[in-house]
Amino acid sequence: MPRQEITINAPAEKVFAYLADITKHPEWSKGEHKLEVEKTSEGPIGQGATFRSVGYQFGRNEDTVTITEYVPDQRVVFQATGRVGLARHAFEIAPSNGGARVTKSFDMVKGRFPFMIMYPLVARRFYWPGALKGDLERIKSKVEES
């Protein structure tokens, strides 16, 4: 499972709040994806909260996103289910020298045909360490500027 980490100069609580709010993800996702996210469940953001995500990566993709783990100020995991399959994204946050160390990981749990045939090429571009690092750098920039 690909993973990368970065240190953000902001308190862990602030970083966690930003990452757990899935509606903020278009702010740091790659611009070419034209990601749109809306919350679809009632109540506060937490375990079980759901979102509708629409992005453009190899065509239009609409996913249902569900937060499957939610440990305030420490860990948030969400799964995206759509036409390409089931993907799991995780963020782990820990205090570090007055800031927060953030680890982002990605796992393609179950792919659908024909996506799984293309997965090795797609993963290199969008998910493997370089892409995860880019996500983390954009997250760092957004959190530190706010």
pLDDT tens digits for 76-100? 999 999 877 788 999 999 999 999 9
Q: Are 30 and 112 in contact (CB under 8 A)?
A: no
- pTM, rounded to two decimals: 0.84
Burial class (CB in 10 A: 0-12, 13-18, 19+), 42: exposed
Domain count, the chain: 1
pLDDT in tens, the chain (146 residues): 678 899 999 999 999 999 999 999 999 987 656 889 999 999 999 999 999 999 876 678 889 999 999 999 999 999 999 877 788 999 999 999 999 999 999 887 665 544 554 555 555 555 555 677 889 999 999 999 98
Q: Any idea what the CATH number is for the domain that residue 76 is in?
A: 3.30.530.20
Closest CA to 116 of 80, 86, 88: 86
Domain of residue 107: give its range.
Answer: 3-145
